[in-house]
Amino acid sequence: MNIFPYKPRKNQIAIMQTIHRTLEDRRHLVFESGTGSGKTICVLSATLEYALQNGKKIVYTTRTNAQQRQVILEIRSIREKNPDLKNNLTGVGMQGRANMCLLARNNSELSKGTSEELSRFCSSEKKKTKNVPSEGCRFYHSFLNKEKTDKTKQWFKKNLPTAEEFIEYCEKQSICPYEINKVLMKESNLIVVPYVYVFDLMIRNMLLDALGVPENDIILVVDEAHNLPDYIRDLYSSQLSLFMLTSCSLEAEKYGDPSMLDGRVTVSGFCKMLESIASDLRDTYVYAILENGIRTGAVKNTDAFIPSHEFETEIISRLKITSKNLHDIISDLTAYGEKIQEYRQKEGKLPRSFLHSLGVFLDFWMSLEMEQYVKLIVDAGGGNNPCVEAYCLDPSVGTEILSCFHSTIHMSGTLEPLEEYRDSLGLPEKTELVSFPSSFPKENRRVLFVDDVSTKYEDITKDDDMVNRMINHVTSVCNSFPKNTMVFFPSFNVLNMFRGNDDINKINRSVFFEEQKMSQSALMDLVSDFKEYGNGGNEGAALFSVMGGRISEGMDFPAEQLEIALIVGIPYPKPTARQRGLQHYYDIKFRKGWEYTVEAPTARKLLQSIGRLIRNEKDRGIAVILDRRAPRFKKYIKDLEESKNVLEEIQKFLEK
C-alpha cells in the first residue's frame, strides 16, 4: 500500500490488504471486483511491495496483448510516484516469438510457425550466426555485440517500454528484442506474459530458465481469470483434420513417400485411409447416414461423440494389423517427420512437418486418460473439413504447477460463482474466495431488458417478425441518441446475420464492425476510430461487436467513449456434443453441471459486456438486453429491470 500511486478509492485498500495477507500466508486467492475498480493497480502495488521486501519475482499472465500493455503503463505510474524505486523496479512484457522475432514479423511463412517450430528455427539461426555471422540472423548478431546490448538495456530501464514500443525500438537498432527480453527477465521484478508461458510445459521451462529462480520464489497473477479454464481446455485438446491429412499426404509424396509395414502401405496411402475414416465417422455420427446411404434426419449438429476406441479400431481393421503394428506406424511417422524437419532446417526454412504432427497426435490419442477427455468427430466447416478431436474436459490437468508457486492470485470482474473457478482449476479448498462490491454510485448505471424479443432458435422460427423487432430496437436506439453506442451479439454468426439485413443501413450514423479474424493492429485502429466519435461532443457512432470477444473484455471506454450498450440475446454456449460432455463431466464431479458450464459462463459474458460502460466513479452508462430470458440472470445482474419503453427510459437516464 505504501507504493500505491493514486488516491485509493472504495475497496482498493481492502483488496491490497487481502492480497498482502495471502502472500504472507503463502496461499491462493481468487477474487472478483467489478470492471473499472482498479484491480490491476491494486494487485501490482501489493505484490511488488511484498516482492521487493522478500526477494520474490512476479509473473503476471494475461490473455491479450492489450491487457499486457495496461500492466506496463501502471508500473510506470508506480515508478513516477516512487522515484526512489526507479533503479530497483522494472517490469518487462514478453510476447511469443511470432510477435517478437523480427525475422518472423517480416516473413509470412515464419509468422505462422508454432512456438516449437520457431524455437527450432531460432536455434538453427543462432548457430549459423556464431559460426558464419554473414549467413545467420543479423538481429542476433547485433545482440552478441555487448555495446549494442548494453545500450538497449539502458534505454529499456530508463523508459520501461511496452512490448510494442520495445519491439519498435529494437527494429530501429537492428537488434533482437526476444533475446534481450530473456536477459531483462532475469533482472526484472515483474514479467508480463501470455497464459501459454505458464501453462504450456515446454514454454514454461524456457521461462523458468530465463527467470533464474525456483518456482517457490515466484508470485503468479492471473488476469481476466474467467478465461483461464477454457484456455487450458483448448491448450490440452488436440485435433486431426482432413486438411491436415491432405497436407500430410502431399508432404509424404514430396519427400519420397516411404513404405511402412514391410511395404504393405505407403505413408501417403496411410494418410488417405485416415481421410476416409474421418469422413465415414462424420457420416455415421454427425450426419447419421446408414450403411445403405439413407440419412435418418436433417443435419443439425456440428459434432458428435465417438466410442473411445473407434478410430484406432477402424485403422487396425482396414489394414488388418495388430495394435503393436499401429504403434510401430506411429513411431515411423514421427521419425519420418523429424527427418523432414531437419532437412527443412538445413534449407533455412521453418522446420515444419505435418507427418511429425500426425505421429504426435496419434500417440496422444492412443494414450489418453478417458476420464478427463471425450473423443469427438467434428464437422464445423460445412462438410469440407471433418476432424477427430480429443477434447479436454478438466482444466486441472494443466494446473499442477500452481501448487509450486509462492502464491497465486486470480482476478476478474466476473468470476461468480468463485467456487466453480476454484474447483475447475483444482485449487485447494482453503483458497481464499472474495467478491468485492462495486465501488461506483449505483445511480450511474442502469440495466434494462425488453420482453418482446428473444434470440432463442425456437422463438425466432415461430415468430416471423422477431428478427425485425430486434433490428428495430437496435436502429431506433442508434438513431435516437447522439452517443457512442456498442451493440454486442452472442456470436459472429448472429452479428453477420444482422449485418446482412438491409434495415441495418437505416442507421444514420457511422457504424463500425468487428471482424472475426481481425488482426490486433486493425482491431486497435477500429476501437480508436470509434472512441474518437465520442470525444469532444461529436455525433457518436455505433460499434457492432461480440460478447466474449477481445473488445468486450479488458478494453476501456471511459466517459463519452461509450454511454449505451445494446446486448442482442443471451450468449448461451452452443448445445454441441463438446458442451454436453462438459456439462455431464461437471455433473458427475461436482453435481453442478448446468450452473458451472452453462449459467455461469453465460452470466460472465453478459457482465463483461455491461462492464464496458463504467470505468470510474464519474462514468455513467445504460445497457439494454434485447431478450426476454434476461431475468434468469437476476442473481448475477442485481440491478436488472424490465423496460416498457426503451427510448423513453434511455432519454430519462441521459437527462439526469
What CATH number corresponds to the domain at position 641? 3.40.50.300
173: domain CATH number is: 1.10.30.20
| Beta carbons within 10 angstroms of residue 266's beta carbon | 18
For 482, the grid coordinates are 447522439
pLDDT, residue 298, reads: 66
Q: Cα separation of 497 and 491, whole Å?
A: 10
Across-strand partners of 446? 622
d(CA 145, CA 187): 19
Query: Domain limits at 480?
Result: 442-655
Q: What is the rounded distance in angstroms from the CA atom of residue 473 to the CA atom of residue 498?
A: 12
384 shares a domain with 288: yes
What torsion do the CA atoms of 202, 204, 205, 206 make, to the nearest 10 degrees?
A: 90
Same domain, 519 and 639: yes
Q: How many whole angstroms separate alpha carbon 190 and alpha carbon 307?
A: 47
Cell (9 digits) for 112: 505462422
- Supply the pLDDT for residue 297: 67
C-alpha cell at 251: 508432404
- pLDDT at residue number 280: 93
Residues 252 and 129 placed together within one structural domain of the fold: no
Scan for cell 473439413, then name that residue: 385
Q: Are residues 297 and 386 in the same domain?
A: yes
Helix residue ranges, H only, 201-266:
201-211, 228-235, 242-254
What's the CA dihedral at 422, 427, 432, 437 to 10 degrees?
-20
Specify whether 372 is located in the same domain as 453: no
The answer on 488 and 373 residing in a single domain is no
Distance CA 399, CA 422 (A): 11
Distant-in-sequence, close-in-space partners of 11: CB < 8 Å, separation ≥ 6: 33, 37, 436, 437, 439
Burial of 618 (0-12, 13-18, 19+ CB in 10 A): exposed
Residue 268, domain CATH: 1.10.275.40
pLDDT at 623: 97
Out of 364, 395, 426, pick the residue that ends a domain: 395
Q: Is 542 in the same domain as 461?
A: yes
In a domain, 355, yes or no: yes
Same domain, 458 and 368: no
In this structure, what C-alpha cell is assigned to residue 47?
A: 505484490
Q: Which residues contact 414 (CB under 8 A, 6 or more apart)?
A: 32, 35, 226, 603, 604, 607, 608, 611
Beta bridge partners of 93: 192
Per-residue model confidence as pLDDT tens digits over 360-411: 999 999 998 778 999 999 997 777 899 999 999 999 999 999 999 999 999 9
Q: What is the pLDDT of residue 391?
A: 97
- pLDDT for the residue numbered 209: 94
**Residue 257 main-chain phi, psi, to 5 deg:** 45, 65
> Domain for residue 369, yes or no?
yes
Q: How many CB atoms lie within 10 A of CB 2?
A: 7
In a domain, 76, yes or no: no
Please name the residues in contact with 295: beta carbons below 8 A apart, sequence gap of 6 or more.
287, 288, 289
Residues 505 and 630 in one domain: yes
- C-alpha 342/C-alpha 368 separation (Å) is 29
Tell me: do 389 and 447 sit in the same domain: no
pLDDT of residue 381: 74
Number of domains, the chain: 3
- Does 206 fall in a domain? no
- From residue 66, alpha-carbon distances to 192, 195, 413, 553 in Å are 12, 13, 16, 10
Do 460 and 582 sit in the same domain of this protein?
Answer: yes
CB atoms within 10 A of CB 592: 17
Residues of the chain scoring pLDDT < 50:
none
Query: Quick one: pLDDT at residue 441?
Result: 84
Q: What cell does 3 get?
A: 507504493
Cα–Cα distances (Å) from 651 to 505, 592, 642, in that order, read: 23, 41, 16
Residues 389 and 474 reside in one and the same domain? no
